[in-house]
């Protein structure tokens, strides 16, 4: 009775968590900044679903004497298919940089399915050597997945979870075929729930909504900042105002630099004032942010210039640099806050539609940064 209750509870928790994870992925599919990572999300979620099916089949096989060998073989075959799906998922993480990987994925899936079906018809799945090879393959897969996660500069907790899962494959296989198997039967489902929770955190960071940094001085552009904020909210992009950011465990310079580097869109608004000058840099906060953003990705910058104002000499020099014919930008002028709002809505919408492969985000604590002085 304890066995049935324990596993019923764990399965219900796992099923509810999978359902919640699926909702999170499908809700983000239209607004995901890193839409190319949806393939990884779908594949890895499928691997968890396969594990749930395998879990039920192996449990039935452990308590039933009817068709026990068939159930065991089916469970082991599902384990092989999970490894195949995870391999393809890892490939998809790197397909952005290696086009040949994208072409190889369908072929890899087809070959793996054929080989797995052939193996299913034999006793090879239950053999000792195959079990050792499968354990080694699973360990390698999840360690590589952990390494891939680290490369995306997201939370290290997710990477650690998959590293641990990879290194523990030998332990799980050892427990399964010994008198200590009951330990695994009780621990394994709860560990997978923890792994799934770590995966949800990972997907939440990878599939972030577009994040916009608005760089401008404050005193002369208060209304324009508010207009830009309304424009971003109208487009359903996550964000915050610098005026309400609260305390953060970073220096202002560090926070500005991180967000200038890692935002998906950088909106630069030029008014009258050059702004506060950073002594160690010899340039204003706004120009510093622009330089960081430009160095990281020149294609994410939009520049808006207010007409009918007298600019400070240093700001005019900065504007001349921005409008340089060879290295500058096609700037957009505006007359008032409402005019700026309409232009930002239009331009960011267009950029949102064309920027299909933005950079991963390392969440620092906010989605949109408004800075300057």
- Pairing type for strands 370-371 and 212-215 reads parallel
- Check pLDDT > 60 for residue 104: no
Mean pLDDT for the chain overall: 77
Specify which of 76-90, 248-262, 332-346 reaches the highest per-range mean pLDDT.
332-346
User: Is 295 within 8 Å of 301 (Cβ atoms)?
Assistant: no
- Token pair for 370: 């408004």
pTM of the predicted model, to two decimals?
0.56
- Check pLDDT > 50 for residue 367: no
The region of weakest confidence among 28-32, 105-109, 252-256 is 105-109
Give pairs for 322-328: CB < 8 Å, separation 24+: 322/268, 322/270, 322/290
CATH 3.40.50: which residues of the chain?
Answer: 212-371
What is the pLDDT averaged over residues 298-308? 93
Using DSSP's 3-state secondary structure scheme, residue 276 falls into coil
In terms of DSSP H, where are the helices of the chain? 2-28, 38-63, 68-94, 99-120, 128-151, 156-167, 169-176, 181-206, 222-234, 252-262, 285-296, 313-322, 337-354
**Half-sphere exposure (Cβ direction) of 308: Cα atoms closer than 13 Å:** 3
More confident call, 149 vs 307:
307
The Cα 128–Cα 135 span in angstroms is 11
pLDDT tens digits for range 307-330: 999 999 999 999 999 999 988 999
- Check pLDDT > 90 for residue 227: yes
Burial of 269 (0-12, 13-18, 19+ CB in 10 A): buried
What per-residue confidence (pLDDT) applies to 366?
A: 39
What per-residue confidence (pLDDT) applies to 173?
A: 60
- Check pLDDT > 80 for residue 269: yes
Give the dihedral sign, CA 16/364/206/145.
negative
Which phi and psi angles does 301 have, rounded to 5°? Answer: -100, 130
User: Is 152 within 8 Å of 206 (Cβ atoms)?
Assistant: yes
More confident call, 22 vs 311:
311
What per-residue confidence (pLDDT) applies to 40?
A: 85
| Unique residue bearing structure tokens 């018809």 | 121
The Cα 301–Cα 269 span in angstroms is 11
For residue 241, name the pLDDT band (cuts at 50, 70, 90): low
User: Is 188 within 8 Å of 172 (Cβ atoms)?
Assistant: yes
The total number of residues written for the chain in this structure: 373
pLDDT tens digits for range 177-220: 444 445 555 666 777 888 888 888 888 777 765 678 899 998 89
Contacting residues for 165 by C-beta, under 8 A, at least 6 apart: 142, 191, 195
The Cα 360–Cα 357 span in angstroms is 9
Burial 282-308 (b: 16+ CB within 10 A, else e): ebbbbbbbbebbbebbeebbbbbbbee
Using DSSP's 3-state secondary structure scheme, residue 88 falls into helix
What is the pLDDT averaged over residues 270-298? 92
| Unique residue bearing structure tokens 């790197």 | 94
Which of 3.20.20, 3.30.70, 3.40.50, 2.60.40 would CATH assign to domain 212-371? 3.40.50
Contacting residues for 166 by C-beta, under 8 A, at least 6 apart: 138, 139, 140, 141, 142, 143, 145, 146
What per-residue confidence (pLDDT) applies to 352?
A: 72
């Amino acid at each position: 009775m304890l066995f049935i209750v324990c596993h019923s509870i764990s399965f219900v928790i796992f099923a509810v968590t999978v359902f919640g994870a699926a909702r999170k992925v499908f809700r983000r599919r239209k607004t995901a900044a890193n839409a190319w990572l949806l393939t990884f999300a779908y594949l890895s979620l499928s691997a968890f679903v396969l594990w749930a099916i395998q879990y039920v089949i192996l449990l039935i096989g452990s308590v039933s004497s009817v068709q026990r060998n068939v159930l065991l073989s089916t469970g082991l075959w599902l384990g092989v298919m999970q490894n195949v799906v995870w391999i393809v998922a890892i490939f998809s993480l790197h397909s952005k940089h290696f086009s040949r990987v994208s072409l190889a994925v369908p072929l890899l899936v087809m070959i793996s399915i054929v080989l797995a079906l052939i193996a299913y018809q034999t006793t090879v799945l239950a053999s000792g050597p195959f079990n050792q090879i499968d354990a080694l393959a699973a360990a390698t897969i999840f360690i590589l997945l952990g390494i891939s996660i680290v490369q995306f500069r997201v939370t290290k907790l997710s990477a650690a979870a998959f590293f641990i899962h990879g290194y523990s494959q030998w332990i799980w296989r050892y427990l399964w075929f010994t008198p200590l198997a009951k330990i695994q039967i009780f621990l394994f489902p709860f560990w997978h729930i923890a792994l799934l929770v770590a995966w949800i955190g990972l997907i939440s960071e990878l599939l972030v909504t577009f994040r916009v940094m608005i760089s401008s001085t404050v005193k002369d552009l208060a209304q324009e900042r508010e207009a830009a904020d309304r424009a971003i909210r109208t487009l359903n992009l996550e964000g915050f105002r610098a005026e309400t950011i609260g305390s953060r465990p970073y220096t202002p310079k560090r926070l500005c630099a991180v967000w200038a580097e890692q935002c998906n869109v950088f909106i630069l608004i030029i008014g009258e004032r050059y702004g506060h000058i950073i002594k160690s840099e010899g340039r204003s906060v706004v120009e510093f942010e622009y330089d960081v953003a430009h160095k990281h990705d020149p294609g994410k910058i939009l520049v808006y210039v207010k007409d009918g104002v007298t600019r400070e000499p240093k700001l005019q020099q900065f504007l001349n640099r921005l409008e340089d014919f060879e290295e500058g930008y096609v700037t957009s002028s505006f007359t008032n806050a409402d005019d700026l709002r309409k232009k930002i809505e239009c331009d960011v919408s267009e950029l949102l539609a064309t920027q299909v492969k933005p950079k991963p985000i390392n969440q620092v604590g906010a989605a949109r940064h408004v800075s300057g002085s």
